[in-house]
Amino acid sequence: MKEKVRATIKKYNLIEKEDNIVIGVSGGPDSMALLYILNDIKQEMNFNIYVAHINHGIRKEEADADEEFVKDICSRLAISFYSTKVNMDEYAKKKKLTSEEAGREIRYSFFNKVLNIIGGGKIAVAHNKNDQAETLIMRFFRGTGLEGLRGMEYKNGNIIRPILDIHREEIESYCKKNHIDARIDRTNLEPIYGRNKTRLEVIPYIAKNYNSGIIDTLVRTARLMQMDSEFILEIVDRKYKDITIEEHTNSIVLNIKELNAEHYSIKSRIIRKAIEKINGSLKGIGEKHISDILRLAEENLTGKSINIIKNIIVKASYGNMIIEKENDQRKINFKSTIVTGQDIYIEEINASISSYILPVSKANIKDTNPFKKYFDYDKIKGRLCIRSRREGDRFIPLGMKGSKKLKDFFIDEKVPREERDNIPIIENDGNIIWIVGYRISEEYKVENSTKKVLVLEYKKQ
């Protein structure tokens, strides 16, 4: 068994030289076998091991005894031991999770906390071949796609599974042969959780009545699914780059026309990828959400939007799809006086504006920089200021004769609604002279009679 684990580690590059490996050890046969094997090979492969144990507080005295057992083993093996005690049932109730979901969150949160303490590394968990088969059956019953049928990965981020190729029977035999003591969690022997029912009832029934080698069959299926999934995801990665117009921490903009041109299996994965990027996970995202988003793309109606989970909103806007993680910030209101010859910093929008005066002969009037504009200085009367937009704002856009509502101007310019409040306005004594980044006012343009030019330049910090 040790040779199999060593081969798995090398094949999937699970552990590298001088890695710090935090092993999740419950005290059961699987995690104890993993602990002893990694401890045996750590010197030859040159890595460090640490142990993390979670006392879930469910079995009270038995759980406390498990913790003391693992702590004692680590003391005898001279391995650093970290533990925490959490009431899993209370945590699940508070977070509105199932017991299994709560246990998973608690475990990986603590494992990562230990990683931070020791300066980073990887988390080794003791999932085995039987666990893989159970996972596939549970996902199938719940409903899943190709990616779900991949099962658990040997390596997923900083999580590694060195004994994923090993049968549970082989693990128990290894422990017995090598006189490795282990604790038995009696709750694992009761069909009280979904995974327990799968392990104790579903798989034995299938093995007895349909396929005695169901564990190996399911694991082979997972490997085939992994190969197909990896091929499709490579295509998705390329298409995602082609279709993405903008990518920010909390929002992603996609080209709707190019998205609609793709096969459903590709574009649905592109949407999932975008959501995962801004949300951190796909938890709570189902097939209905994806279908609704793709229907929004097909309709392509500017201004239409849908809320999916929590604060994730998807909007159609002038041929683009905006997938956005909204925050609770309200509109930012600001107003600052512009002093000619000085750089003015506006803290609310983390930007600055500079201003200076030039003879018209030295001004590059044909400059196409949308954030640098030229105005007839003699037309400037009174105070200059930079401010946020207001209800009812109007101005005369360059090239027009009559005034126009700023709202209508933004619509004509196809400025997305969510961006409009963030566009600064330059005002002279109550009159708008520049919509920053878009258009100056006809009333303040440089003409043949202009002698001096006011230059304004806006810079985002």
E strands, 25-147, in order: 48-55, 80-85, 122-124
Confidence at 331, pLDDT banded by 50, 70, 90: low
Q: Is 28 annotated as a binding residue?
A: yes
- Is 139 exposed, middle or buried (CB count within 10 Å of its CB: 0-12, 13-18, 19+)? middle
* Cα 447 to the center of its chain, rounded Å: 52
Confirm if 55 and 85 have CB atoms less than 8 A apart: yes
Q: Is 194 annotated as a binding residue?
A: no
Q: In what order do the strands lie in the sheet with 372-376?
A: 343-346, 351-359, 452-460, 372-376
Confidence at 192, pLDDT banded by 50, 70, 90: low
Q: Is 120 annotated as a binding residue?
A: no
Q: What is the mean pLDDT of residues 228-232?
A: 95
Name which residue leads in pLDDT, 103 or 237.
Answer: 237
Q: Is 352 annotated as a binding residue?
A: no
Confidence at 221, pLDDT banded by 50, 70, 90: very high
Instruction: Name the nearest CA neighbour of 111 among 31, 53, 185.
Output: 53
Q: What is the pTM of this model?
A: 0.69
Q: What is the pLDDT of residues 245-266, one digit of tens each?
A: 988 888 899 999 999 999 999 9
Res 128 pLDDT > 80:
yes
Return d(Cα 271, Cα 266) in angstroms, integer. Answer: 9
The mean pLDDT value of the chain amounts to: 92
Instruction: Name the nearest CA neighbour of 127 among 10, 8, 7, 224.
Output: 8
Task: Count CA atoms within 13 Å of residue 5 on its CB side.
Answer: 29
Return d(Cα 455, Cα 376) in angstroms, integer. Answer: 9
Res 177 pLDDT > 50:
yes
Q: Is 103 annotated as a binding residue?
A: no
Q: Is 121 annotated as a binding residue?
A: no
Amino acid 348: pLDDT:
83
Q: What is the pLDDT of residues 367-402, one digit of tens each?
A: 889 999 999 999 998 899 999 999 999 999 999 989
Confidence at 327, pLDDT banded by 50, 70, 90: low
Q: What is the pLDDT of residues 15-33, one digit of tens each?
A: 999 999 999 999 999 999 9
What residues form DSSP beta bridges with 122?
A: 21
Domains and CATH numbers, the chain: 2-222 (3.40.50.620), 248-325 (3.30.465.60), 335-460 (3.50.40.10)
